[in-house]
Structure 1
């Protein structure tokens, strides 16, 4: 596919009906990230959008992508979670009233729980703004894969922006896993 054809295909790649798997969902999230970074592109058409800003429309794009029919009943993948970490880091300004932070924390925990073999609800339930994350997220270390927790810690370490909900849940799980609470700030390279 030529570069021009790839660019013209971008808007259709964002349509939830065109998302066929975790990989295409992660690619669509990368398009949202690029729009956040540059303030331009298919996710910003028809509205004023500043570079390095994330607004409610950007959060809505992410929610539509993550709950597309093809991936609705699958756990959030590591590729999708990584794309969300990139969007979180790219957005220096937020005007979304916390919508993205809520979605981001829920999606990463959905991935962590499912990658650990724990049951998770469908994405439309787990990621919904009116669903409390504590209603389904693991709060004990029983069954949580330490490799997944280490991956999340690695993603969060050294980041300019942290997500309090995600940090609190992971700290609770890590604390329950017998890691002394005093070491938790070192795991994430931040102060609590």
Structure 2
């Protein structure tokens, strides 16, 4: 995406111009690029170090994921993949855990909806005031195995893991009785 197109996309985000989940995924890609380089439209007007994720980056993600054009739809796989990419790009965090919370909720929202399970609106599900346990599936019944395999594949070998997401996936597949230290071998990932 060109710099002009990126600037247009950021302008659209600020004016609630995200009209579909594809546009939201593209906008999340712009956030990822800003996290990687420390430059670009989402870092404009502030000091931003490369490979760092701060409260402003987390706020960008929240605004994108809850934009009026996508709020009534479940989180798409492309949006969840973009959140995985942002998670992986951010070696340093200074957002007080807001991104990790949003990331876990977005991925689980996608997994549950892709499995045909009911999910609350994005505004409710992704809110920092809503506990993920209040709406996320807690058992394997009804959860699409392909979706769980996709999550495990996304998490496999990543240097940055999300404990909340790992715990929920482990609970859903019935591995919750395993000690947390055993989860890396279950999912072939490192904590």
The two structures have a TM-score, normalised by structure 2, of 0.92
Alpha-carbon deviations, 1:41-97, whole Å to 9, x = none?
Answer: 111111110000000000000000000011101100000000000000000000000
Unaligned runs of 5+ in 1: none
> Unaligned stretches of 5+ in structure 2?
none
Residues paired across the two proteins, number: 189
2:21 is matched with which residue?
22
Q: 1:6 to 1:166 in 2, by over 3 A?
A: same
In structure 2, do the counterparts of structure 1 residues 8 and 54 end up closer, same or farther at CA, with 3 Å as the change threshold?
closer
TM-score, normalised by the number of residues in structure 1: 0.92
Tell me the residue number matched to 2:157: 158
- The separation in 1 between residues aligned to 2:90 and 2:156, in whole angstroms, is 17
Q: Give distance in 1, aligned partners of 2:69 and 2:10.
A: 18
Partner residue, 2:129: 130
Inter-partner Cα distance in structure 2 for 1:58 and 1:5: 20
Distance of 1:40 and 1:85 partners within structure 2 = 20
Displacement, 1:6? 2.4
Query: Counterparts of 2:190 and 2:45 in 1: how far apart (Å)?
Result: 40
Q: CA deviation at 1:184?
A: 4.9
